[in-house]
A = this chain, B = another copy of it.
Amino acid sequence: MLSMAHPNVYNSCQMIGFDEIRKLSQVTPSKIVLLVMDGVGGLPHPKTGKTELEAARCPNLDQLANESICGMQYTVSPGITPGSAPGHMSLFGYDPLTYPLGRGIVEALGLDIEVGPGDVVARGNFCTVDDTGHIADRRAGRLASEKSRELCELLNSKVKVDGCATEFFAGKEHRFVVRFRGDGLSDEVSDTDPQHEGMLPPGAQALTPAAQKTTTIVNTLIEQSRDLLKDKHPANMFLLRGFSQHPDYPSLQHIYQLSPACIATYPMYRGVSRVVGMDILPAGETLETQLETLKKNYDRYDYFFVHFKKTDARGEDGDFEAKVKAVEEFDAALPGFLELNPDVVIVTGDHSTPAGLAGHSWHTIPVMLRAQYCRKDEVTRFSEPACLRGGLGQFHATELMPLAMANALKLNKFGA
């Protein structure tokens, strides 16, 4: 028996495209359940040498690994640390480098803001400018969320721009989103956030002639707001960036002929799911309510995305023990999901969030897929070192959807 992980050649041929896979896809009664433990990948604790997954007592995850084909995946590109949006786009089969999501739209989705076709959204920061208008603090001293809400209400009651309905939506601390709604808008508008302090905020500029109207609207909104905010130090100005529209990407229905549904407790993940065409089901606040929803809707869909946030949140906190507990919490809930006996069940993450780094990281992510014909391997633990020896090798996460489809027997043969 060999002790090393098999080497992995990152593949160099093109992956099958959406047009081709659409021709191969067929509707069948089989069910695919994707369970995402956000940020599940970790790093060894300096004292024990064990990662969060290795330190956790998770008999159900291990049993599932024993019945699965396992591997390690990356969601963007080797060495690249993914944000939550690209991480999930990749899990849903969309290369995040080909199917990017603008900062404005991601922020809007994260606040559950309705973004219609033609709307433009931008991410905003309340900031502090000095008497000469130069930026003194890009975050206005990390303004309290409550204060941010008041300012958004003030702006919504007073700002009126001809030819466009504008609305401010407060986010966390100094953050907000502004939505522009009207005819003929474009997102080809430059940022007004120079990303550095000590500078004058530049006016918005049209990046294409078609964006001239929108640019005028944006600059009018900024002028009116500047007057309204001038006595509101430290939040006496704001900066806008990431102008974007709802991307019109092909849906999972279109590409794979699936009926997909999202069961996520956080708005951000519901937002990304909406982009790829999933129905958004009420998720409640816990894995228990998520499971209830899954059971209630099991006959209505054939693809379910279930999102678990705590593994990422505790990793971001830098709290190794709490992340271990989050894994164990997921493990305890797992049998409920498996009881439904989905034809294909997948457990993975959208990126790693090692407690030791207290943030997202570039490290590959363990993944397991169980199905009747999955060709299970010899892996018996759901952990980074164990999955490294799995039958899936190391691969780009966009390959996961075709593998899920194949294992659900939803793909016809390519070529004669």
Chain A residues close to B by CB (< 8 Å): 1-21, 24, 43-44, 72, 76-86, 95-101, 103, 106-107, 110, 248-251, 254, 354, 356-357, 359-364, 373, 375-379, 384-385, 388-396, 398-399, 401-407, 411-416
Contacts and interface: CB of A to CB of B under 8 A. Distances in A.
A69 B113 CA distance: 43
A396 B83 contact: no
Contacts of A398: 8, 10, 13
A15 B415 contact: no
Contact of A12 (B14, B20, B361): B14
Given A11-B12, A81-B411, 20 more contacts: A2-B249, A6-B394, A8-B14, A8-B15, A10-B398, A12-B13, A12-B399, A13-B77, A13-B95, A13-B398, A14-B97, A15-B77, A44-B376, A78-B399, A79-B407, A80-B406, A359-B413, A361-B373, A362-B403, A388-B393
Given A375-B44, A416-B106, A389 B6 contact: yes
Given A2-B248, A77-B16, A80-B402, A8 B394 contact: yes
A18 B2 CA distance: 11
Contacts of A379: 2
A141 B24 CA distance: 25
A348 to B, nearest CB: 15
A3 to B, nearest CB: 7
5 contacts: A3-B254, A10-B14, A16-B77, A79-B399, A100-B415
Contact of A403 (B79, B354, B385): B79
A79 B405 contact: yes
B393 A375 contact: no
Contact of A399 (B5, B9, B19): B9
A14 B98 CA distance: 9
A15 B13 contact: yes
B250 A375 contact: no
A125 to B, nearest CB: 14
A412 B362 CA distance: 10
Contact of A6 (B44, B83, B86, B393): B393
Given A95-B14, A361-B373, A415 B83 contact: yes
